[in-house]
Structure 1
Amino acid sequence: MSSPEDRLAALGLALPEVAAPLAAYVPAVRSGAHVYTSGQLPIAAGELLKTGKVGAEVTPEEAYELAKVCALNAIAALKSVVGDLSQVAGIVKVVGFVASEPSFTGQPQVVNGASELLGEVFQGAHARSAVGVAVLPRDAPVEVELIAEIR
């Protein structure tokens, strides 16, 4: 059986360094059998990949890809707490925030970028919310957080 790290490698993905917090919080925290990540932005190599509202400056397709980056950052935050991703029994819940222009209603399809990646890496489904918001930190188009169950 392959590990989550093996599945990431098979997808051609490597975990990034854990993004430094933008304020007074930690990237992830364990409580009992669960790890809760803070909201993760689409940051790569220390840079926000895109800014703006989905449905205006950012296309839904771009936002879908950015949600994948958020999920990859969330996995890195998760690993920073558990050490070995094989300790993750599954992803329990994902919350995706999409900074949207007012008439945009495709938040679920955007957050599918994160959900589909997490489903491939951890081989399972999770509960989820996909929420449209007016603005996110640093004018990011997408933010994703998750709750994982640990063995």
Structure 2
Amino acid sequence: MKSVSQNIEALGLVIPDAPKPLGNFAPYLLDAGYLYISGQISIDANGDVIRGKLGQDIDLEGGIAAARCCGIGILARAQAAVGDLEKIAKLVKLGAFVNAVPNFSDHPKVVNGASDLMVEVFGPEIADHVRFAVGSSSLPANAAVEIEAVFRVDA
């Protein structure tokens, strides 16, 4: 079995430095062995927000890519919190909001972009998680997707 860092390298991922939060809140909280990651909006590799509504401005494939970018942001926050992603024992939950028009119904498919990334990085045993994926009429900075996470961490 490959390590998390080997998986990241094989995927060609670059985990950026975690950005500062956009408000008066903690970007993450480590409590009693659980790491809570605040919502990460869809930011691309250039640091630009992926903006727009699914079903209007962005197609399904673009939404999946935006959710994957949220997943990379989650990894950046987790790395900032614990120093080494190898300390992640379990992805417990992802909670996702998809900026979408009212008749858009593929929210779960969009959020697969983040779920699939977590499985690719951590492997299916660690990344087997619960989640929700709901539509939203708007998100901060008109982001396409926002996702939060909960991990269990080894000391």
Please indicate the TM-score interval, normalised by the length of the shorter structure. over 0.9
Give the deviation of 1:141 after TM superposition: 0.8
| 1:90 pairs with 2:90 | yes
Give the deviation of 1:26 after TM superposition: 2.1
Give the deviation of 1:106 after TM superposition: 0.2
Give the deviation of 1:111 after TM superposition: 0.1
TM-score by length of structure 2 reads 0.93
SS in 2 for 1:23: coil
Task: Give 2:135's aligned residue.
Answer: 132
Task: Give 2:8's aligned residue.
Answer: 8
Q: How many residues align?
A: 150
Q: Deviations over 1:56-76 (max 9, x none)?
A: 001111010010010010011
SS in 1 for 2:14: coil
Query: How many angstroms apart in 2 are the aligned matches of 1:5 and 1:24?
Result: 32
| Counterparts of residues 107-122 of structure 1 (less than 5 Å) | 107-122=107-122
Give the deviation of 1:2 after TM superposition: 2.3
Query: How many angstroms apart in 1 are the aligned matches of 2:4 and 2:42?
Result: 21
Query: How many angstroms apart in 2 are the aligned matches of 1:150 and 1:29?
Result: 12
| 1:73 pairs with 2:73 | yes
Checking the alignment, whether the CA contact within 8 Å between 1:3 and 1:85 is kept in structure 2 is no
SS in 1 for 2:40: coil
SS in 1 for 2:41: coil
Give the deviation of 1:47 after TM superposition: 2.0
In the alignment, structure 2 segments of 5+ residues that lack a partner are none
Task: Give 1:145's aligned residue.
Answer: 148
| 1:42 pairs with 2:45 | no
Task: Give 1:54's aligned residue.
Answer: 54
Give the deviation of 1:130 after TM superposition: 0.4
SS in 1 for 2:95: strand
TM-score by length of structure 1 reads 0.95
Query: How many angstroms apart in 1 are the aligned matches of 2:43 and 2:100?
Result: 19
| 1:28 pairs with 2:28 | yes
Query: How many angstroms apart in 2 are the aligned matches of 1:43 and 1:17?
Result: 12
Q: Deviations over 1:102-135 (max 9, x none)?
A: 1000000000000000011111310010011110
